[in-house]
Structure 1
């Protein structure tokens, strides 16, 4: 199956946003066009990645539109100024769940269907709140779901509580999700994580510099050091094996940005 849309979901604080952006960066390095959608209406995506920018178009406006067309979805995408291959769609600073009218699961699914035709890949940074409608639609509609967890009790308890909810509905395909064990310290025992979620497909090490990047809104910048190299190797391996289906030594196919002209203005 061709992978076009990927949902990145996990426990609170597990690093889903960071993982999503690093996957987007790896795809952009391959000259792939990516739209990143931030589902969280409690911690909006745009101010985390574009902290110095205001008056941006909001995902909430798109979802509240009378008719949600592909053009309408495109108008609300904001090009990541530091990378022409990445565009963002999320909530603005100061917005929350009450900022816009309620929308349906059908409207959320409609949005993701429109986005599929606008870029090579759509990455959906899901909320850990399973009542979030965008997250529910993403987990059901995405071609692949990356489940991000940490090797700590809080993260594992979350999945022990969430799993029964998702297993009730086969549409969530809980057992087919790709498990990423993130932010692992060299001294941590990862066996409890395997006992809770099963096979761990990818393990990403703890890299202190990544928190600094996140705090500065500079997740596209390079990080250095041994663990940083291990982290980037893990992300690249994940992208090549799951998203692109090409060996790492293969030829990079060049392309022109599909959403490169998106300025974020109406």
Structure 2
């Protein structure tokens, strides 16, 4: 069995994940060193996510910090930035709270980043060996593919070598980021990070699994926010 992972902060933005957060924390606890790693749950929920997370955290010896935001500015992306600002370790892993991102892939992201001297390691559904089996139905597959193509067409240089800019599962070296340069909005924090920084990127394949309880948060409003993000980032590069 591999030794527990040290020197990492796992940031989990949550919105109504009461059905999965306890299992996620338990599975992470098997992988992380209880003294030299931590988990930050940044919560915007209206359900019992905080109660479930707190109960599980009390059963574990790990550092698990639960931050409930009464004003969820910036949506999921804003929650991720909040977690990054509070992170105490050099490497930060960002992952969803619904178990579609497998906790067991976290050590591989971080270890690959350290071995390859990367700035960011992307968990990709679309590079060789990756799978998107957890996407619900043909419509979501089409939307995901179209969103990916749009981003890569608009930002060919910044996304060179990036097969999955829509991914929400990645490890990043905190000292490589300028958090004040990020303008969080909506779901796509990875795209914001990649376009506003020049980071040495490595990809690791993973299987985007089935949702463990709850429902997809994707909506027309999220689609509109994504389009506005594309326009904002395009103007940002044009000004530079």
- Name the TM-score class by shorter chain: 0.3 to 0.5
Identify the structure with bigger relative contact order (alpha carbons < 8 Å, sequence gap 6+): 1
TM-score normalized with structure 1 length: 0.32
Structure with greater Cα Rg:
1
TM-score normalized with structure 2 length: 0.35
